[in-house]
Amino acid sequence: MKTKFSTAWKSSKQPRKQRKYTHNAPSHIKSGFLGSHLSKELKKKYNKRSIRVKKGDKIKIMRGKFKGKTGKVENVDVKRSLIYVEGIQISKKDGTKTKQGFHSSNMLITELNLDDKKRVNKLGKQEKKEKKNPEKSKISGVPKTGGF
């Protein structure tokens, strides 16, 4: 099996090739896999469904053993596609505690870390603007459509 990442790869329905693509992807592409859904309030505010998780974001875990727990993102491991949350640890058989990594699809972002100016600018462009009523035609008062 080739372990080199293919830039010419388009798509495949085969799960093994999907896994291979994500595993062999370079870090700048793997970073794009770390997006997570926003809470309802943030969705309305920024007019965006999901955004990449960053250190300092507050999240809620939606799936798994720690479902319902909330915390601040402590570390984002791009290479392994895992997100570590403060205060969430598992105990091993020998009694030691270790951090538990989560996949970004299993969490919901409840509060954003807005220390990064680039991130703020990117979100600012997406912020909801007041939508005006569509123009109504003068003849019948029916909204104009694009035609057939």
The pLDDT tens digits for 52-81 are: 999 999 999 999 999 999 999 999 999 999
Average pLDDT over residues 83-99: 96
Please report whether residue 2 resides in a domain: no
DSSP helix/strand/coil, 29: helix
Q: Is the confidence at residue 128, as pLDDT, over 90?
A: no
Q: Is the confidence at residue 130, as pLDDT, over 70?
A: no
Q: Which amino acid is residue 13, in one-letter code?
A: K
Please report whether residue 104 resides in a domain: yes
Q: Is the confidence at residue 104, as pLDDT, over 90?
A: yes
Average pLDDT over residues 104-132: 85
Please report whether residue 127 resides in a domain: no
Please tell me the distance from the alpha carbon of residue 87 to that of residue 31, in angstroms, as a whole number: 24
Q: Is the confidence at residue 107, as pLDDT, over 70?
A: yes
Please tell me the distance from the alpha carbon of residue 90 to that of residue 130, in angstroms, as a whole number: 47
State the pLDDT at residue 138: 57
State the pLDDT at residue 135: 60
Q: Is the confidence at residue 118, as pLDDT, over 70?
A: yes
CATH code at 63? 2.30.30.30
Please report whether residue 120 resides in a domain: no
**Whether 63 contacts 74, CB under 8 Å:** no
Please report whether residue 38 resides in a domain: yes
Please report whether residue 88 resides in a domain: yes
Q: Is the confidence at residue 131, as pLDDT, over 60?
A: no
Give the pairing of strands 107-111 and 58-61: antiparallel
Name the more confident of 93 and 4. 93
State the pLDDT at residue 62: 97
Please report whether residue 69 resides in a domain: yes
CA angle 142, 144, 145 (to 5 degrees): 120
Please tell me the distance from the alpha carbon of residue 58 to that of residue 45, in angstroms, as a whole number: 16
pLDDT-based confidence at residue 50 (cuts at 50, 70, 90): very high
Domain that holds residue 99: 15-115
The pLDDT mean for the chain works out to 88
Residue with tokens 């951090």: 99
Please report whether residue 131 resides in a domain: no
Q: Which residues contact 5 (CB under 8 A, 6 or more apart)?
A: 24, 25, 26, 29
Average pLDDT over residues 28-46: 95
Overall domain count for the chain: 1
